[in-house]
A and B are shown apart, each in its own frame.
Chain A
Amino acid sequence: MSAAAFIVIAIFTLAGAIAAATMPRLIHAALSLVLAFIGIAAFYFLLGAEFVGLVQIFVYVGAVAVLIVFTILLTRRGQEDTRGFSWGGVVVAIAVFCGLVWAILHTRVSDAAPQIDPLTVKRIGEVLMTNYVWPLQCVGLLLTAALIGALILVAEEKR
């Protein structure tokens, strides 16, 4: 059951990712990337990480995709939003791939899956508020600073 689900989701995600990498029009590529995001969320669900999967949909489909699409829309003029082929992109892609392969080969995989309690939202909240409270506060501060910075950038200057 879960092997079949894995194959179906993998095909779906890869199709979305390949379409995102090869589509000539940028908006189409951005919309295909959304399919890949949904596929990754489905993987999280399959692995039992319900909360992470939901946040993946929430953040990536709801916010990041809209951000990408608007960036494309507001920075290009008219119909010339097509793209060519760039060797720089190929080099970066190969470098990332090699890095990932290196990381995967150097990871020790134990045969038996470790027994862990199901990860509930409650536990994530408790851990965030106890062990990781300082990182959480730092992220909050950073985001607030970013928000205020964005407001200052777009605010009209008063004379």
Chain B
Amino acid sequence: MPGEFVDQIFVAAKRWLLSLLPHAPDWVVQIASALLNIILLLGVFATLFALISVLERKILGRIQNRYGPNRVGPFGLLQPVADGIKMLIKEDVVPIRADKVVHFLAPIMMLLPAILALGVIPYGRNMTAFSIDGGILFFFAVGSAAELAVFMAGWGSNNKFSMLGAMRAIAQMVSYELPLLIVVLPVVMIVGSLSPDAIVAAQDGYKWGIVPRWFVLTPWGAAAFILFFVAGLVESNRTPFDVPEGESEIVAGHMTEYSGFKYATFFMAEYFGMFAVSGLAVTLFLGGWHAPIAWLEVVPSYLWFFAKLAVLLFVFIWIRGTLPRTRIDQVMSFAWKFMLPMAFTCVIAAAVWHYQAHGWAGWLSSLGIVAVVYLGLSRLLDTRRKFATRTYRFAE
């Protein structure tokens, strides 16, 4: 079957490459297989990083009614190459009072968890680089090391702005890690497994032959997906939650004292983190590599995954071009007063949905629970501040 062949072409290619070592001992084959996975993963995501960095500037340009980069190559597509060369030949400035070792290690420590987290996401049928039983837990375990890296960058630079930025970053990362984790809980509860492959497999098939069984199409799943996405925005320090690097207040936060390729590494870590969070959102809620319509299953599974990933990345950029930066106290109170109760509501709604046999009654009652809590919370959190209608006296 040609469709199946195209779908499994990378898996088959890897098997063929490994068969080139016929008499090697077992551990050589294992290491070779792991190395192949790592090289492919890094290659794909480094290319995606280059592409998305130029696309982001193009889309932001479009939103702000100007041309983006358009000088280097056709449509400015070679811009990342120029940027890379520029970053490499820039002088690497290290402050004289900085802690040299910690300052040097921070960008590496930042990039490492982002790359590791990419390993557990299923990119297509039989295409998980690092398939373990507790994959979801692995994702968050390595992700939590990023906080330490931010601290190392802030403390190692020996600069007020760096330290303040690092404090802000850690405060918001710790606060949003809680809703991010709890929002994953309903999916794990329904599937009964922490393995990303099992979660994708649970979203296989179509209800009445048309509606895919993705979790985002249930009321609790939709709410959880939105909460996950917002928490993901915070975890990857993206606008509107980029207070740690608010350039009008604290220069560039924990990255103030970094230049040249170290700065580029931070930038790369931010994007890799964005890919990882979007990839996990696709896996958990958007059906992973499954096609939205049954007869579109002929399109290879990895193309579906990357199409969904691209849509989420576009929303990241779209939000950046649309929303202003929030204040740090607003970010924190939003986490504790709104995100956390809503996350718990999703857990309860999912349980109700599950015990009413995934039917209409469960669908409606979980919708009711989510809606009631949402309305109640917005009532409670309403500051009842009255804004007078703004009048412009001179500008017409």
> Are the CB atoms of A69 and B148 closer together than 8 Å?
yes
Chain A residues contacting B138 (CB-CB under 8 Å) are 54
> Are the CB atoms of A57 and B151 closer together than 8 Å?
no
Kindly identify, within residues 145 to 167 of chain B, every residue whose CB is under 8 Å from any CB belonging to chain A.
Answer: 145, 147-148, 151-152, 155
Q: How far is the CA of A120 from the CA of B155 in the complex (A)?
A: 39
> Are the CB atoms of B144 and A63 closer together than 8 Å?
yes
Chain A residues contacting B151 (CB-CB under 8 Å) are 66, 69
Within the complex, which residue of A27, A61, A122 is in contact with B192, where a contact is CB–CB below 8 Å?
A122
Within the complex, which residue of A1, A27, A51, A65 is in contact with B134, where a contact is CB–CB below 8 Å?
A51
> Are the CB atoms of B134 and A61 closer together than 8 Å?
no
> Are the CB atoms of B140 and A121 closer together than 8 Å?
no
Known: A54-B137, A121-B133. A61 touches B155 (CB 8 A): no
Known: A50-B132, A73-B155, A122-B192. A66 touches B148 (CB 8 A): yes
> Are the CB atoms of A51 and B137 closer together than 8 Å?
yes
Report the minimal beta-carbon distance from B303 to chain A, rounded to whole angstroms.
31
Q: How far is the CA of A31 from the CA of B147 in the complex (A)?
A: 12
Chain A residues contacting B380 (CB-CB under 8 Å) are none
Chain B residues contacting A62 (CB-CB under 8 Å) are 141, 143-145, 147-148, 177
**Would you give the 0/1 interface string for A43-80, flagging 1 where the beta carbon is closer than 8 Å to chain B?**
00000001100110110011101100110010000000
> Are the CB atoms of B140 and A1 closer together than 8 Å?
no
> Are the CB atoms of B145 and A61 closer together than 8 Å?
yes
A-B contacts, CB under 8 A, total: 60
Q: Is A34 an interface residue (CB 8 A)?
A: yes
**Would you give the 0/1 interface string for B110-149, flagging 1 where the beta carbon is closer than 8 Å to chain A?**
0000000000000000000000111001101111110110
Report the minimal beta-carbon distance from A146 to chain B, rounded to whole angstroms.
15
> Are the CB atoms of A120 and B133 closer together than 8 Å?
yes
Kindly identify, within residues 73 to 106 of chain B, every residue whose CB is under 8 Å from any CB belonging to chain A.
Answer: 99, 102
Chain B residues contacting A34 (CB-CB under 8 Å) are 148
> Are the CB atoms of A54 and B134 closer together than 8 Å?
yes
Report the minimal beta-carbon distance from A132 to chain B, rounded to whole angstroms.
19
Chain A interface: which size bin? 20 to 34
> Are the CB atoms of A66 and B133 closer together than 8 Å?
no
> Are the CB atoms of B137 and A66 closer together than 8 Å?
no
Q: How far is the CA of A58 from the CA of B134 in the complex (A)?
A: 12
Chain A residues contacting B102 (CB-CB under 8 Å) are 27-28, 31
Residues of B within 8 A of A (CB): 27, 99, 102, 132-134, 137-138, 140-145, 147-148, 151-152, 155, 170, 174, 177, 192-194
A-B pairs with lowest CB-CB distance, top 10 = A62-B144, A58-B141, A57-B141, A54-B137, A54-B141, A121-B194, A54-B134, A61-B145, A66-B147, A121-B134
* 10 new A-B contacts at CB < 8 Å, known A55-B137, A62-B147, A65-B148: A31-B152, A50-B134, A57-B145, A58-B140, A58-B141, A62-B148, A66-B147, A66-B148, A66-B174, A121-B133
The contact sample of 18 A-B pairs, CB cut-off 8 A, is A28-B102, A31-B148, A31-B152, A54-B134, A54-B137, A55-B141, A57-B141, A61-B145, A61-B148, A62-B143, A62-B144, A62-B148, A62-B177, A63-B144, A66-B147, A66-B151, A69-B151, A121-B133
